[in-house]
Amino acid sequence: MDSTQIRAMADDIRSGNRRALARAITLVESTRQDHREQASALLEMITPDTGNSIRLGITGVPGVGKSSFIEVFGNHVIDQGSRVAVLAIDPSSSISGGSILGDKTRMENLTRRREAFIRPSPAGTTLGGVARRTRETLLLCEAAGYDLIIVETVGVGQSETMVSEMTDMFLLLLLPGGGDELQGMKRGITELADLLLVNKADGDAKKIAQNTVLDYRSATHYLPRKHKSWAPRVEACSTAEDRGILEVWEIVQEFAAALKDSGEWEQRRARQALDWMWRETAESLLVDLKRHPAIAEALPQIQAAVQRGDKSPTVAALDIVKLYRQYNSTADHSNGSTDL
Amino acid sequence: MDSTQIRAMADDIRSGNRRALARAITLVESTRQDHREQASALLEMITPDTGNSIRLGITGVPGVGKSSFIEVFGNHVIDQGSRVAVLAIDPSSSISGGSILGDKTRMENLTRRREAFIRPSPAGTTLGGVARRTRETLLLCEAAGYDLIIVETVGVGQSETMVSEMTDMFLLLLLPGGGDELQGMKRGITELADLLLVNKADGDAKKIAQNTVLDYRSATHYLPRKHKSWAPRVEACSTAEDRGILEVWEIVQEFAAALKDSGEWEQRRARQALDWMWRETAESLLVDLKRHPAIAEALPQIQAAVQRGDKSPTVAALDIVKLYRQYNSTADHSNGSTDL
């Protein structure tokens, strides 16, 4: 694509053309160097049109009913006059070949709506790579005019922290019961949550769900406060009976209003953007460094020595940086065809 | 120093010369480029003599009695035939001019013992810089034959996570009472702890302390498990009455034995070393990058644009990396006299 085509793509995205948006996301997901440069040019063009959505992270253990919840919730939000995009982060998708949102039968009703845009998790070898693409996709969706961007993740390793870092608000879905086994606590992610939602509060489980709500209300007292202007809320809902779901959208809007009022919204966004910039910079430098042939050759030995304790990590790092600077000073490789 | 002098310093450290150790630590704390290179050469020489200590992180809110505890505990450990080094990480020391361990009257009895070595927190503008120096100091102390290295930190921001990442075991000191205000929970660091110790369990507070122990025992159930071969322990102690302190040393040795048996000890160390190497590498590259004049000049504007949301973080990162590579490809700056 030349710059005229990229400009046309940016215009198409802004006007709400879904096909252009999908093509742009494929572009930001590519690791090819020329694609990276085109993606960068595109992002530069659409940046003025970004930042106006509510970015909502959603997580919960498998079986908690994330997709059903998002389907019912998303439909309510659209009925209230907003447009909804659903993105996913699944660190395991590079191994399993894509699991969350990969199944076409999921969120069938939401998929059909004109005001919804659903995108499965990008494949990627590193969590950092997956995060970068999701962040960029999020910006593209904002430029396309989506008012609520949901970033869904499965409860694997560090993906929750990552989603929390790229969103404004974090919703943790829970199952009724659990008692000693408060799943969110066990996995150490409850403290990321701004809203804890006990799902499947229907039929026989209704009473259990209410107790779970009370358990979590007292448990969240012990957790560090994430925002000055917002204390975590714990509520119950039933996706099957469609109870308490519309209320979630009200809570989300309350949250946004409270944080915008206190200035924490803007502060958080600014901090997230700067952190992201430096992480991107460090990541790009490390990627660049690792493709230096001399380093690629030396690395296995260096790493093994460090792991065995035969080489100090500082000394190893110094060696690596020296090799890198020698490489850069002897030739200009900036037009290499390998991935950035 | 030339390489003969560095070699002599390494020999002196190994033979237990305290003055040589102190000078070596001053060397690793220096940011001067020539000092960094000497420190690197020194670390390379002593690496075979490192890794044999137990690395113990200790934290707790101000007023919990950290220094008194370390003094009594350290004396017990020495009485049992081991040598003890105490290092400190205090992220605020660059602002306050050094607070923890800066006061010479602290740990008076421990300071006087031949088998103890106490070093205040290095000053530093970044937490990362402070961490690097503390890690290197830790290695020097190991080469000097200390069997237990205590890394003390105040409860400020991310310093606990950092200490946890460079130690084998993490001890959280707590005050009796607290109830709803379980300090460790509130600050979200309880889940880092392998041993929670309710201090000041003496006089009227004895009973309260026992209840606090029970509270924390049930609270730690909700936390994610850090090690397969070790469940967090919660105990009470009294520094004033010297009760339960010798037992702490027994628990520490139990912990080390359990993790060595399961293989988790070695795995953790190997992972820590590799993480440290990559963090060091990334950090060095960023430091190197920031002193590129064109970047230093452009940075304030770039950062402001990113914070305002006018520039995408990815695009900003790409711009920075491009500037950096242009700089490196036009000249060899590896002999610059500025800090690495």
Confidence of residue B61 (pLDDT cuts 50, 70, 90): confident
pLDDT at A28: 92
Q: By C-alpha distance, which of B219, B218, B185 is closest to A222?
A: B185
User: Which residues, including other chains, have CB under 8 Å from residue B132's CB and lie 6 or more apart?
Assistant: A314, B280, B283
pLDDT at B95: 39
Q: Determine the structural domain holding residue B327 and report its residue range.
A: 275-334
Q: Does B300 touch chain A (CB under 8 A)?
A: no
Which of A262, A287, A304 is the C-terminal boundary of a domain?
Answer: A262
pLDDT at B92: 57
Residues A140 and A130 in one domain: yes
Write down the mean pLDDT value for chain A: 86
Q: Does A335 touch chain B (CB under 8 A)?
A: no
Is A242 in contact with A259 (CB distance < 8 Å)? no
Q: Does B156 touch chain A (CB under 8 A)?
A: no
Confidence of residue A94 (pLDDT cuts 50, 70, 90): very low
Q: Does B112 touch chain A (CB under 8 A)?
A: no
Residues A78 and A6 in one domain: no
Residue A84 lies in a domain: yes
Residue A123 lies in a domain: yes
Q: Do B325 and A288 touch (CB under 8 A)?
A: yes
pLDDT at B180: 40
For testing contact with chain B, the best of A314, A318, A324 (most B CBs within 10 A): A314
pLDDT at A113: 92
- The question of ipTM being above 0.90 is answered as no
> How many residue pairs bridge chain A and chain B with CB atoms within 8 Å of each other?
199
Q: Compare all CA atoms of chain B with the CA of A287 and give the residue at the minimum distance.
A: B282
Residue A62 has pLDDT above 80, yes or no: no
Task: State how far residue B206 is from chain A, nearest Cα, in angstroms.
Answer: 23
Residue B257 has pLDDT above 50, yes or no: yes
Residue B270 has pLDDT above 90, yes or no: yes
Once rounded to an integer, what is the mean pLDDT over residues B141-148? 97
CATH number of the domain within which A115 lies: 3.40.50.300
Task: State how far residue B265 is from chain A, nearest Cα, in angstroms.
Answer: 12
pLDDT at A309: 87
Q: Does B335 touch chain A (CB under 8 A)?
A: no
Chain A residues with beta carbon closer than 8 angstroms to that of B270: 307-309
Q: Does B320 touch chain A (CB under 8 A)?
A: yes
Q: Are strands B84-89 and B54-59 parallel, antiparallel or unpaired?
A: unpaired
Confidence of residue A149 (pLDDT cuts 50, 70, 90): very high
Angle, CA B325 vertex, CA B321 and CA B329 arms, to 5°: 175
Rounded Cα gap, residues A75 and A109, in angstroms: 8
pLDDT at A115: 94
pLDDT at A18: 94
- Provide the token pair at A119: 């995108």
DSSP A27-87: HHH---HHHHHHHHHHHHHHGGG-S-SEEEEEE--TTS-HHHHHHHHHHHHHHTT--EEEE
Residues B238 and B313 in one domain: no
Instruction: Determine which of B22-26, B229-233, B237-241, B282-286 has the lowest per-residue pLDDT on average.
Output: B282-286
Once rounded to an integer, what is the mean pLDDT over residues A7-22? 96
Residue A27 lies in a domain: yes
Q: Which B residues 257-286 touch A at CB under 8 Å? A: 269-270, 273-274, 276-278, 280-286
pLDDT at A177: 82
Percent of chain B with pLDDT over 90: 56
Residue A69 has pLDDT above 90, yes or no: yes
Residue B269 lies in a domain: no
Residue B302 has pLDDT above 50, yes or no: yes
Rounded Cα gap, residues A147 and A67, in angstroms: 19
Closest CB from A51, A281, A312 relative to B139: A312
Comparing B31 with B45, the larger pLDDT belongs to: B45
Closest CB from A51, A282, A329 relative to B328: A329
Q: Do B276 and A224 touch (CB under 8 A)?
A: no
Residue A166 lies in a domain: yes
Residues B44 and B172 in one domain: no
Q: Does B246 touch chain A (CB under 8 A)?
A: no
Which tens digit of pLDDT belongs to each residue from B148-160? 999 998 755 467 8
Q: Do A285 and B282 touch (CB under 8 A)?
A: yes
Residue B279 has pLDDT above 80, yes or no: yes
DSSP summary character for residue A322? H
Which range in A79-93, B128-142, B169-183 is most confidently predicted, on average pLDDT?
B128-142
pLDDT at A96: 40
pLDDT at A335: 43
Q: Compare all CA atoms of chain B with the CA of A334 and give the residue at the minimum distance.
A: B325
Residues A212 and A330 in one domain: no
DSSP A192-259: G-SEEEE----TTHHHHHHHHHHHHHHHGGGSPPSBTTB--EEEE-BTTTTBSHHHHHHHHHHHHHHH
Residue B34 has pLDDT above 80, yes or no: yes
Which tens digit of pLDDT belongs to each residue from A106-121? 788 898 899 999 988 7
Residues B222 and B100 in one domain: yes
Residue A232 has pLDDT above 60, yes or no: yes
Residue A93 has pLDDT above 90, yes or no: no
Counted residue by residue, chain B has a size of 340
Residue B311 has pLDDT above 70, yes or no: yes
Which of A218, A237, A262 is the C-terminal boundary of a domain?
Answer: A262
Residues A70 and A33 in one domain: no
Count of other CB atoms within 10 angstroms of residue A108: 10
Residue A269 lies in a domain: no
Confidence of residue A221 (pLDDT cuts 50, 70, 90): confident
Sign of CA dihedral B176, B177, B183, B186: positive
Q: Does B338 touch chain A (CB under 8 A)?
A: no
Confidence of residue B224 (pLDDT cuts 50, 70, 90): confident
Three-state secondary structure call for residue B122? coil
Helices A293-308, A264-290: crossing angle, 10 deg rounding:
110
Residue B339 lies in a domain: no
Comparing B129 with B252, the larger pLDDT belongs to: B252
pLDDT at A220: 82
pLDDT at A216: 87
Q: Compare all CA atoms of chain B with the CA of A329 and give the residue at the minimum distance.
A: B329
pLDDT at A105: 54
- Provide the token pair at B82: 């081991």
Q: Do A314 and B132 touch (CB under 8 A)?
A: yes
Once rounded to an integer, what is the mean pLDDT over residues A62-91? 91
pLDDT at B334: 46
DSSP summary character for residue B81? T
CATH number of the domain within which A19 lies: 1.20.5.170
Which of A262, A284, A314 is the C-terminal boundary of a domain?
Answer: A262
Which tens digit of pLDDT belongs to each residue from A189-202? 777 899 999 999 99
Once rounded to an integer, what is the mean pLDDT over residues A143-150? 97
pLDDT at B89: 81
Task: State how far residue A79 is from chain B, nearest Cα, in angstroms.
Answer: 30
Residue A235 has pLDDT above 80, yes or no: yes
Total number of domains constituting chain A: 3
Rounded Cα gap, residues B41 and B133, in angstroms: 15
Task: State how far residue B287 is from chain A, nearest Cα, in angstroms.
Answer: 10
Percent of chain A with pLDDT over 90: 56
Q: Do B180 and A221 touch (CB under 8 A)?
A: yes
Closest CB from A180, A222, A281 relative to B317: A281
Residues B74 and B133 in one domain: yes
Q: Does A290 touch chain B (CB under 8 A)?
A: no
Instruction: Determine which of A119-123, B122-126, B129-133, B226-230 has the lowest per-residue pLDDT on average.
Output: B122-126
Residue B98 has pLDDT above 50, yes or no: no
Once rounded to an integer, what is the mean pLDDT over residues A65-85? 95
Residues A114 and A69 in one domain: yes
Write down the mean pLDDT value for chain B: 86
Residues B45 and B70 in one domain: no
Which tens digit of pLDDT belongs to each residue from A156-212? 546 787 898 899 999 999 988 864 444 554 445 777 899 999 999 998 899 999 999
Q: Compare all CA atoms of chain A with the CA of B323 and give the residue at the minimum distance.
A: A334
pTM exceeds cut of 0.90: no
Q: Do A285 and B280 touch (CB under 8 A)?
A: no
Residue A155 lies in a domain: yes
Confidence of residue B240 (pLDDT cuts 50, 70, 90): very high
Residues A198 and A312 in one domain: no
Q: Does A139 touch chain B (CB under 8 A)?
A: yes
Confidence of residue A301 (pLDDT cuts 50, 70, 90): very high
pLDDT at B186: 46
Residues B250 and B291 in one domain: no
Residue with structure tokens 């992610």? A189
pLDDT at A77: 97
